[in-house]
């Protein structure tokens, strides 16, 4: 009888340890799902991705998802930020100057003005980028009024490539888009 009770306690201790290990592994998979996904993508595909007409480097903590041929999404496994790249032909009458003027009028509202306008070169094409910081008031609660910031950057080119950055939801305004522009600097035209 004593031996059976001892075996039952030992079996119970093993089961508890096994359950704890399974729960810990499940939590790690849940908590680090995107970091694991990024690591696996880089092992399987390397450090670059191809978009129709372009090749770009993918930093180690970013991973791409491609649903349709002209669209590519890059996700930051650490922060949840994303970059949407789209390669498609523009109409013959499209000009970057006209688009820039229209967007500046459309996007520059008094509540959420354009933070900065940049002219850059990506893969030899001129781009115009508008940095915005959407400020949104949260619904009132018992605490004082809270505001969140949703930073984003819209970039259009005279060529087929357009790029949009979504910076997630933040407690404070964001003014540093260095990593985004660094990723853009790795884009090169690929040969057909």
Q: List domains and CATH numbers for the chain.
A: 47-189 (2.60.120)
Q: What is the side-by-side order of every strand in the sheet holding 54-57?
A: 48-51, 54-57, 188-189
Q: Return the closest-CA partner of residue 80 out of 170, 156, 174.
A: 170
For residue 133 the two structure tokens come to 């910081």
Backbone angles phi, psi at 146, to 5 degrees: -115, 145
Q: Which pTM was predicted? A: 0.76
Q: How confident is the model at residue 173 (pLDDT cuts 50, 70, 90)?
A: confident
Provide the token pair at 143.
């605490």
Q: What is the mean pLDDT of residues 112-132?
A: 90
- H/E stretch holding 64 reads strand 62-65
- The mean of the pLDDT values for the chain is 82
The arithmetic mean of pLDDT across residues 164-187, rounded, is: 88
**Which pLDDT value is given to residue 28?**
59
State yes or no: pLDDT of 93 exceeds 80.
Answer: yes
Helices in 32-151 by DSSP H: which ranges? 33-45, 96-107
- Condensed to tens digits (0 to 9), the pLDDT of residues 10-68 reads 777 676 766 666 666 665 555 677 888 888 888 998 999 988 888 999 999 999 987 66
């Amino acid at each position: 009888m004593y031996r059976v009770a001892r075996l039952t306690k030992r079996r119970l201790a093993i089961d508890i340890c096994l359950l704890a290990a399974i729960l810990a592994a499940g939590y790690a998979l849940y908590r680090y799902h995107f970091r694991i996904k990024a690591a696996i993508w880089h092992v399987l595909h390397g450090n670059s991705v191809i978009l129709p007409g372009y090749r770009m480097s993918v930093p180690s903590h970013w991973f791409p998802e491609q649903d349709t041929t002209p669209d590519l999404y890059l996700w930051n496994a650490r922060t949840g930020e994303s970059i949407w790249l789209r390669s498609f032909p523009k109409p013959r009458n499209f000009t970057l100057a006209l688009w820039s003027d229209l967007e500046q009028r459309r996007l520059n509202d008094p509540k959420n003005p354009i933070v900065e306008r940049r002219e850059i070169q990506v893969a030899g094409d001129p781009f115009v980028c508008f940095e915005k910081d959407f400020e949104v008031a949260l619904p009132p609660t018992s605490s004082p009024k809270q505001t969140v910031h949703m930073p984003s950057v819209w970039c259009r080119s005279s060529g087929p490539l357009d790029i949009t950055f979504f910076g997630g939801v933040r407690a404070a305004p964001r003014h540093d888009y260095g990593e985004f522009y660094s990723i853009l600097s790795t884009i090169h035209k690929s040969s057909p």
